[in-house]
Amino acid sequence: MSLFKRIFSKEKKETLDKGLEKTKTSVFDKLSKAIAGKSKVDDEVLDNLEEVLITSDVGVNTTVKIIERIEERVARDKYLGTDELNSILKEEIAKLLEENNSGTAEDLNLPDVNGPYVIMVVGVNGVGKTTTIGKLAYQFKSQGKKVVLGAADTFRAAAVDQLKIWSERADVPIVSQGMNADPASVAFDTLESAVSQNADVVLIDTAGRLHNKVNLMNELSKIRRVMQKVIPDAPHEVLLVLDGSTGQNAVEQARQFTKATDVTSLALTKIDGTAKGGVVIGISDEFKIPVKYIGVGEGMHDLQVFNKYEFVDSLFANQ
């Protein structure tokens, strides 16, 4: 199918294939059982397929949409062989991701804005938020962009220290005031510093407090208001980092954060260590927020710009 042309470099695609190996193996094992002894896609196959997708963390609502689309194709084409199911799944899931604007970018290019492009990064502790910031900083820097980090997760000393380590690794400046400083004050200082340095990108780390704390909304709103005193349209992007290995728990985190602040993009980490990679599809569909980055390994380049065609191709490539 022409949509599934090779877009990534061979090395990058191989990393993605390897990162999705556990999910792919799990899906294929379930899929082969779902169609065992069947040559035609019938109601029983569709019921089994529904179970495969739900147990692969695609999510109930998204699974129902996919099944309905396949049912329409069965009704239209009169006969669909089970050997075609793989390619049909690839097509329909790619279309679904297309509708949600997921994986539309092919590189780290950012929109032109007046001054530095400000990304506020949110997410609970332990999802890989600070690591994601560090890897993004490294990749932006590698592209020749001037990057500034802001350590506004001031409730844990470890968060500030960890971001400092990443700033050294990526060789980019960091603005911090230490533990218990006012996060909004840190964000304000970071933007002032970025403007004075004529920076291209600013990455602001924020507190990863538990997603059911009511003051999360107030804090993120305050950070946003204070940043706008320096750059009126900041933040240009609110990136929510989710741990893909937690499956449906990541969906619940997304639900809470989208209520607390205006999330504009998603990064799903730790996909390589789990069979729950299907959650990428469900989260994109439920929240209509683009999945922008996907973490498929420990290396600096293993946080990849998400590409829907490459993702679906890796997930459903023939065993």
Mean pLDDT of the chain: 88
Beta-sheet strands, E only, within 138-269: 147-152, 174-175, 201-206, 237-243, 265-269
Of 13-22, 119-128, 241-250, where does mean pLDDT reach its minimum?
A: 13-22
Can you give the pTM of this predicted structure?
0.91
Q: Please report the DSSP string for 45-71 in residue order.
A: HHHHHHHHHHHTT--HHHHHHHHHHHH
Give the residue ranges of DSSP H helices in 78-208: 85-99, 129-142, 157-170, 183-196
Torsion of Cα atoms, 262 then 268 then 270 then 271, to 10°: 150
What pLDDT does 2 receive? 44
Predicted confidence (pLDDT) per residue in 31-84, tens digit: 888 888 888 888 899 999 999 999 889 999 999 999 999 999 888 887 778 788
Cis peptide preceding 235, ω within 30 of 0 = yes
List domains and CATH numbers for the chain.
9-99 (1.20.120.140), 117-306 (3.40.50.300)
Predicted confidence (pLDDT) per residue in 134-185, tens digit: 999 999 999 999 999 999 999 887 899 999 999 999 999 999 998 889 999 9
Helix H or strand E segment including 73: helix 60-77
